[in-house]
Amino acid sequence: MNNSTCPITNFLLVTHILYAYLGLLLLLGLLLNGLALWMFCCRLRKWTETHIYMVNLAVADLCLLCTLPFMLFSMNKDNSADTVLCQLSQGIYLTNRYMSISLIMAIAVDRYVAVRHPLCGRGLRSPKQAGAVCAVLWVLVVGSLLLRWVLKDQEGGFCFGNPSRQNPQTVVFSLLGFYLPLAVLVFCSLQVVTALGQRPAADVGQMEATRKAACMVWANLVVFVVCFLPLHVVLTWRLATGLNTCVIQDIVYITGMVSDANCCLDAICYYYMTKEFQEASALAGTPAAKAHRSQDSLCVTVA
């Protein structure tokens, strides 16, 4: 937003709140994602599909977090002219926001295949294939952002918060980059939860582990929706109505900051999600569980 006309950050209280929020987000996000990368890269001996996706997710979240100070600095300036630093930080920020969204979708699809189609999943799921999926996602996301940059550059720039450089073509990329993964995530989550609910429980321990795994699927979906949906609803409204008032710009700013909280919540949610699925799988491998398992029963395997 252009703060010469919409001075949300010119209010001292708002500025203090934003800086406190940003500081907390950076502290927790860098700590949690840095710890996750250290665990995955230095402590794990065997790489699985889930670990590869989560390493890429942690990298994307860390890259996004590192651009937040530049974003806040740019928001407090009248961006009549773009700078290389502003354009670079904007591009990294947007790339890693939608890369995070895409990776969350990929994890959901991987989980769906493992649970709903365990036999086919043996051929579809492997660390190499997970790495290939991540590479394709990086190419697609970066390619779409480069195309956005070309379209923006025709109007003079690609920098934070300047409404004169926001056009419908570039907003469409953001909306497609969110609503398509959202639809896939909702479908896969519902399918996994349904499969877990239909799964025969051999004992109380397995039933409790399965219940926890289902709760983590719901928690992951709720976190994704709460973080990303408000921003994209506002962007959709702005695209549909053509309105770009100060109120709408301020709401985009605030909901965008809310979406950044996903960088911290990803690390927590997926750590516990992996743990609960591993517990459910381990219990499913006991002799009592095997005796109750039929040929088309569901397997919850992450390793």
pLDDT digits (tens, 9 = 90+) for 208-220: 777 777 888 888 8
Closest CA to 120 of 112, 108, 131: 112
Domains of the chain: 9-291 (1.20.1070.10)
What distance in Å separates the CA atoms of residue 193 and residue 197, rounded to the nearest whole number?
6
Q: What pLDDT is stored for residue 229 in this prediction? A: 94
Other CB atoms within 10 Å distance of the CB of residue 197? 11
Reduced to 3 states, what is the DSSP secondary structure of residue 12? Answer: helix
How confident is the model over 227-253, as pLDDT tens digits?
A: 999 999 998 998 888 777 778 878 888
- Give the model's confidence band at 151: pLDDT under 50 very low, under 70 low, under 90 confident, else very high: low
CB 189 within 8 A of CB 222: no
What's the CA gap between 224 and 235, in Å, rounded?
Answer: 17
